[in-house]
Structure 1
């Protein structure tokens, strides 16, 4: 069995070409890469919540056994028959990752407004494709009060996964499978996705050129999106 725990929704499809038993895993776990071999996971009282299920749908004894093992390690591991609904919901929230990586902020009015535009495009293409994502109330009910960011050493969290990729200068970033997924679905179903296209291409350029995270302002990124729209 292969479990796909990456952000995005493409891994499961790729794995199914090679492996008969593929499982999706929606990862909700605040963590920071510090150095090779050291990751700080600051979630409390649970380290994280990992929704699990067979791909494309269903459950089986294998995934139930895996979930039981994970729950011994301060992880919630709900087994669901519709795990991709959870992964598509996380995809929508992760459309903000490129904004945070490029500008270094998400809580400014301009950054938040840009995220709203990206998310609106995402919802439109999912609707056109007939893809359902878990709603906010269902997510809050599942996760509420179970995980807060409270690192044992008192350290703050520097940034999300895309921000960390730029910070480490890896030369790659996940935008092609986050904002790029929305762009792909938009092209397949005739829905314009200019904001996500700009977020994808800008994040890719930052990674390729090894530019530092936060070296573009929200206003500059918004101007690029406005020009594309």
Structure 2
């Protein structure tokens, strides 16, 4: 199979680089300064085993490839807010022998949140979801890093909305030869919703810094409790922390990498790069949406969604809102929500 990595940033670049290391054919899709650096100097991948450079084909869209091959796998790794634009471009791409990518090729959604597979299923017949457990950093244009060892990450994979098939098993086998564990599961959404709950802290980290001290941990616990209440109200199952830990164990242990400063999660990195957008609408915003649909108040997730979007629009530095100020705003929102419920 040839892997077309649509969005060769932290996640896509790491997966693409690791697959290339394992001898698989890889095409990178990127734009702007990152695309220029990849074209000129190759993909530089920094991992605990050392740094490697991979000279891979780099394109900005399907036209540069001509008709796609029947053995192509579209590996979607853009941020969720960019999913629709990517699907719109790649779905109509012609495939050798007739038909389009949307009709004939698998699209593997390796992204945070739960929205991208739903969007993909509107256009593509063969959609696969991935629960991404892969600590990675877009260091600078042309350079990505993944500090996990002995594995770079764990990528639960399954057909969306449910089930497994030979394509899922084939992709998983390739990933497992490339420093990943890739369990094939029939209930990939259950893993994605568990990851969604953990990602509710991304916006907190992005606006006020790492979740580590007791005050931040307490705020995140309240944010997550809202998320769990919403999922229960919606009748949505998720994998327990105990089940996740039993599978992960110490398979992905982070180690310091030379030349790679400490970086935050994906939302923190979006603010650091001044991307102008952030994925909060599809993380905290997913909880807000479900809360409104099922009558569950979600004031803290709504607060973080709004703050993260404001930071992205204004290109504010990550972590620049003091945690005591965020806590004060959260207390105000929570008190307002309680008063509204009592009045209702």
Displacement after TM superposition at 1:157 (Å): 2.9
Write the mapping of 1:96-175 to structure 2, written as runs, cut at 5 A.
96-153=201-258, 155-175=260-280
Higher alpha-carbon Rg:
2
Deviations 1:21-63 (A, max 9, x none): 1000011011111112211111100011000001011000000
Is 2:330 the partner of 1:222? Answer: no
Is 2:154 the partner of 1:54? Answer: no
Partner of 2:200, secondary structure, is helix
- 8 Å Cα contact 1:32/1:157 also seen in 2: no
In structure 2, stretches of 5+ residues that fail to align are 1-105, 335-344
Displacement after TM superposition at 1:10 (Å): 0.3
- The alignment yields a C-alpha RMSD, in angstroms, of 1.0
Is 2:290 the partner of 1:176? Answer: no
- 8 Å Cα contact 1:41/1:151 also seen in 2: no
Partner of 1:73, secondary structure, is coil
Measured in 2, the distance between the counterparts of 1:220 and 1:105 equals 15
- 8 Å Cα contact 1:8/1:177 also seen in 2: yes
Find the counterpart in structure 2 of residue 31 from structure 1. 136
Displacement after TM superposition at 1:155 (Å): 4.0
After the TM superposition, which segments of 4 or more aligned residues of structure 1 sit over 2 Å from their partners? 151-157
Find the counterpart in structure 2 of residue 197 from structure 1. 302
Scaled by the length of structure 2, what TM-score is found? 0.65
Deviations 1:126-175 (A, max 9, x none): 00000000001100011111111124537453111111000110001111
Aligned length: 229
